[in-house]
């Protein structure tokens, strides 16, 4: 296969082998069966353009404009966002900057891809469903390890599957590419499902397609939980929550995620509230406290968070809002924390529950919890006397 990569109608010869070797050494142990796959798979053809976050918004980066930067980013262990909202980097005009939008596709950290594959205990006879094709780089790693006849990849976006198919074909790989909603019916049967998108609950179609004794590895929407579970005789699955963490975009059924109604969040910013009280706890950036955020989303799913800091003061504000109309604003000023709440529920009470559990037991029970999944996808977690059910 040639070292040439087709970019914008031309060709560019990149010295990719040494950067790929360094990346492989960084993201895999010496004896890993995935080291050779990372070392010998070109990543840069799968990310010729990407978006990078700046204070002004999402800035387009075109690899061919700066080949050294392209090489540096493509062979670094980092996620490259390739689609924001409904705008793919491949289709954006040079110099464009998007003022808003959430990532809807990316090329995942290579180390995280390898972690998910290792959790799946893939052997040379495995038949794999790669859920979330994205750029196709992860699919290429699977093809290198297993051969393309054992790999199927699925994504909801026809451009993503089409572009991935072309770029894989240029490397000599021809896996089966499906364009469909991965949470619906799937025309596939095999013994390994690895999802680099988050779901909630587990799609029943995955469990139906998975062969007896097969394994699925996925994350749960709204959390950083990695679930590793094996198909059971009753059609469900059983396993464990891994002690590691991962954050993937949730599945979508359209070109973009549905717009959030900002009305409740606006109330949280401005209103006094029906209940105002002080708190003994400092204001927390919940989104970046991964275990707290995950536990909170299990006991009270669907809360939207904002954390606000100020350049010239140590003061902080945290907002919580839910589509049922519940909201909370925690203000920390001069070391004093005041909680304002409104709506049908007191959201801050759920956060207090999580923190008090942590203080009492020294940890949260989610990591290492036993997992049971029913044939229709409902998830039950259990660790010691603690149990929780995760549905929709």
- Range 230-238 average pLDDT: 98
Mean pLDDT confidence for 188-205: 97
**What's the confidence (pLDDT) of residue 12?**
56
CATH code where residue 319 lies: 3.30.160.690
Please write the tens of the pLDDT for every residue from 300-318: 999 999 999 988 777 999 9
Q: How many domains does the chain have?
A: 2
Residue 253 lies in a domain: no
Mean pLDDT of 70-97: 96
Whether residue 290 is predicted with pLDDT greater than 60 in this model: the reply is yes
CA–CA gap between residue 218 and residue 182 (Å, rounded): 13
Q: pLDDT of 174-184, one tens digit each?
A: 999 999 999 99
Q: What's the average model confidence in pLDDT over 25-40? A: 96
DSSP summary character for residue 250? B
What's residue 5's pLDDT? 41
Q: Supply the Cα-derived Rg of the chain in whole angstroms.
A: 22
pLDDT value at position 313?
75
Q: Which residue has the tokens 């960084």?
A: 26
* pLDDT tens readout for residues 155-166: 999 999 999 999
Q: What is the spatial distance between Cα 179 and Cα 165, in angstroms, rounded to a whole number? A: 11
Question: Which CATH number covers residue 177?
Answer: 3.40.50.150
- The four Cα atoms 331, 348, 318, 324 give a dihedral, to 10 degrees, of -120
- Find how far residue 159's CA is from the centre of its chain: 20
- Name which of 171, 160, 176, 51 is nearest 102 in CA terms: 51
Is the N-terminal amide bond of 20 cis, ω within 30° of 0?
no
Same domain, yes or no: 237 and 267 = no
> What pLDDT does 211 receive?
97
Range of the domain at 357: 263-361
CA–CA separation, 300 and 45 (whole Å)? 42
Per-residue model confidence as pLDDT tens digits over 5-14: 444 333 457 8
User: What does the chain come to in residues?
Assistant: 392
Average pLDDT over residues 379-390: 97
Query: For residue 381, is pLDDT > 50?
Result: yes
The reply to whether 115 falls in a domain is: yes
Tell me, yes or no, whether 372 lies in a domain. Answer: no
The pLDDT of residue 71 is 95
| Average pLDDT of span 86-113 | 96
Q: Count the neighbouring beta carbons within 10 Å of the beta carbon of residue 120.
A: 20
Considering the domain boundaries, does residue 211 fall inside one? yes
- pLDDT band at residue 252, thresholds of 50, 70 and 90? very high
């Amino acid at each position: 296969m040639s070292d040439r990569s087709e970019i914008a109608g031309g060709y560019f010869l990149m010295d990719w082998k040494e950067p790929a070797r360094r990346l492989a050494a960084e993201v895999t142990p010496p004896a890993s069966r995935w080291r050779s796959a990372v070392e010998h798979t070109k990543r840069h053809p799968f990310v010729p353009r990407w978006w990078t976050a700046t204070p002004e918004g999402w800035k387009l980066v075109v690899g061919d404009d700066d080949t050294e930067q392209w090489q540096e980013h493509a062979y670094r262990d980092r996620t490259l966002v390739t689609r924001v909202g409904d705008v793919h980097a491949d289709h954006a005009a040079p110099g464009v900057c998007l003022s808003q939008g959430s990532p809807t596709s990316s090329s995942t950290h290579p180390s995280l891809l390898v972690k998910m594959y290792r959790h799946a205990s893939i052997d040379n006879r495995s038949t794999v469903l790669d859920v979330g094709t994205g750029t196709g780089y992860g699919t290429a790693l699977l093809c290198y390890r297993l051969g393309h006849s054992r790999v199927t990849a699925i994504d909801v976006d026809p451009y993503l599957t089409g572009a991935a198919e072309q770029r894989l074909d240029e490397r000599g790989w021809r896996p089966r590419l499906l364009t469909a909603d991965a949470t619906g019916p799937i025309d596939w049967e095999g013994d390994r499902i690895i999802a680099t998108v988050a779901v909630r609950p587990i799609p029943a179609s995955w469990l139906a397609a998975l062969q007896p004794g097969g394994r699925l590895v996925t994350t749960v929407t709204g959390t950083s939980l990695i679930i590793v579970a094996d198909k059971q005789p009753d059609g469900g699955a059983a396993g464990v929550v891994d002690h590691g963490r991962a954050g993937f975009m949730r599945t979508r059924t359209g070109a973009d995620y549905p717009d959030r109604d900002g009305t409740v969040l606006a109330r949280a910013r401005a209103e006094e509230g029906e209940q105002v009280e002080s708190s003994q706890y400092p204001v927390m950036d919940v989104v970046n406290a991964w275990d707290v955020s995950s536990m909170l989303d299990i006991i009270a799913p669907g809360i939207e968070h904002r954390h606000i800091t100020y350049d010239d003061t140590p003061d902080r504000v945290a907002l919580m809002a839910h589509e049922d109309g519940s909201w909370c604003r925690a203000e920390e000023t001069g070391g004093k924390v005041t909680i304002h709440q409104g709506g049908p529920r007191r959201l801050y009470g759920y956060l207090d529950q999580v923190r008090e559990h942590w203080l009492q037991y020294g940890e949260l029970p989610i990591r290492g919890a036993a997992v049971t999944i029913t044939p229709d996808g409902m998830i039950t977690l259990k660790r010691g006397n603690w149990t929780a059910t995760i549905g929709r």
